[in-house]
Amino acid sequence: EAALAEAPPKPILQLVGVRKTFGSFAAVENIDLDVREGEFLTIVGPSGSGKTTLLRMLAGMDTPSEGNITLHGELINDVPPNKRPTCLVFQSLALFPHKSVGENIAFPLKVKGVDAAARKARALELMRIVRLPESYHDKNVMKCSGGERQRVALARALAYDPEVLFFDEPLSAIDYKLKKTLEKELKDLHRETGKTFIYITHSLEEAMVMSDRIGVMRAGRLVQVGTPEEIYGAPVDRFVCEFVGEVNTIKVKRGPNGLWSGVDVPGSFHVAPPQNGAAPDEAFVVVRPEFMRFLGPGESADNRLEGTVYNEYSLGSRIQYQVRVEAKGGEKVMLVELSRARALAPGADPHVTLGWDAADAFTLES
Ligand code: ATP
């Protein structure tokens, strides 16, 4: 029973060795991925890393040059978009400008030959799900705000009743506050509908808020797939580590008594071994800024470094400090992030002792 409970849900979409080339250039390379039924999976990566190319193959707008894509175990490499139980929610919403909100949403039902009364009932139901007021049913879609049109597009996508919804950067052109609202709503919508969502963005913040799992792409390859916690707390390499947030890194080599000695920053450090079980002689210790603190007199930590605060930035509820520490060939900047409640007092001595515990850092092979 325990084994059953722990078994991951069966894949709805499966990619094996998927590759896409344009001429001699491989935009997507050797992708193996199981998309689980009902999950919210986000693909993130820098511009040009192959996210859109991957999505186009999943949606059927492109065919892999090599490898297989299966849906419920059936090969769909060459199945066109309209023959797949999937729907792409466009960023530049292809809504019908002269039609009402209700007509836009009900369009897929009209195509299927659903009668007018049933169409209206379903449109109103979908409007409730995407939180559009009922009074908008007859409103011209062009008189809606950008955010409202996003909801109309979503409701229309849901009207197709697809098994998988694809989102290609739907929130990239929306102001911050609305974006934060829509992120949470999209997550709620995912939960309410129980459908599989595959979402593409270059914004890691978006990915972190919404996703069950995140896949990180780099130069056409999927370098890590995991929960937001795994991606943030146990990145497989420095690329993922630095892509997902700010970091302090210190290069270290094995020293005596289980300690490690700094290569770039002088000192000896307590370092947790790499999570992949490797036992390298050299490694990078990575400490996220929010796991660094300033040590007061008598306070202890596994590791400490003397430094000088030379800059501080408000991040809203938190403050980030830039701290110079002594390093080979000059100085190195370390970042410390504290909640506002724990901020340094104005005019405090800029000479500080940084502290962090080994368990709050992680180690990557160099
Ligand atoms: P962005 O975040 O900027 O949208 P992306 O991660 O979605 O980037 P893709 O659009 O998938 O990246 O592009 C991956 C690479 O493949 C890029 O170098 C791009 O120039 C190239 N590419 C994509 N489509 C084509 C095409 N039709 N012909 C030639 N090269 C292409």
Q: Is 22 in the pocket of ligand 1 (CB under 6 A)?
A: yes
pLDDT of the residue at 9 = 66
Checking phi first, is residue 360 left (phi over 0); if not, alpha (psi -120 to 50) or beta? Answer: alpha
Which region, left, alpha or beta, applies to residue 236 given φ > 0 means left and ψ of -120 to 50 means alpha? alpha
- pLDDT value, residue 147: 80
The DSSP line for 329-360 is: TEEEEEEEEEEGGGPPPTT--SEEEEEE-GGG
**DSSP secondary structure of 239-277:** HHHHHSS--EEEEEEE-GGG-EEESSS-SEE--PPPTT-
Q: Give the C-alpha separation, 242 to 320, whole Å.
A: 17
Q: Is 45 in the pocket of ligand 1 (CB under 6 A)?
A: yes
Q: At which residue do the structure tokens 């991606």 appear?
A: 231
Q: What is the CATH number of domain 246-365?
A: 2.40.50.140
Residues 6+ apart with CB under 8 A from 329: none
Biggest alpha carbon–alpha carbon distance for the chain: 79
Rg (CA), the chain: 25
Q: Cα(233) to centroid of ligand 1, in Å?
A: 29
Distance 256 CA to ligand 1 centre (A): 49
Q: What is the pLDDT along the chain (366 residues), one digit of tens a residue?
A: 455 566 666 799 999 999 999 999 999 999 999 999 999 999 999 999 999 999 999 999 999 999 999 999 999 999 998 899 998 886 556 789 899 999 999 999 999 999 999 999 999 999 998 889 999 999 999 999 888 888 898 899 999 999 999 998 877 777 788 788 888 888 999 999 999 999 999 888 889 989 999 999 999 999 999 999 999 888 888 899 888 888 999 999 998 888 899 999 999 999 887 777 777 889 999 999 999 999 999 999 999 999 999 999 998 889 999 999 999 988 999 999 999 988 888 888 999 999 999 999 988 887
**What region, left, alpha or beta, does residue 2 occupy, with left being phi > 0 and alpha being psi -120 to 50 degrees?**
alpha
pLDDT at 117: 94
Structure tokens at 47: 């511009």
Burial of 276 from C-beta contacts in 10 A (0-12 / 13-18 / 19+): exposed
We find that the CATH architecture of domain 2-241 is 3-Layer(aba) Sandwich (3.40)
**Predicted ipTM of the assembly:** 0.96
pLDDT of residue 93: 62
CB count in 10 Å sphere of residue 74 = 8
Tell me the C-alpha to C-alpha distance, in Å, between residue 104 and each of 92, 137, 300: 15, 10, 62
The pLDDT value given to residue 6: 66
Residue 346 confidence (pLDDT): 85
267 Cβ closer than 6 Å to some ligand 1 atom: no
How, if at all, do strands 196-201 and 74-75 pair? Answer: unpaired
Lookup: tokens for 269: 């450090």
What is the pTM for the complete model shown? 0.83
- Measured from the CB, is residue 20 less than 6 Å from ligand 1? no
3-state SS class at 223: strand
Locate the domains of the chain by residue range. Answer: 2-241, 246-365
The pLDDT assigned to 180 comes to 84
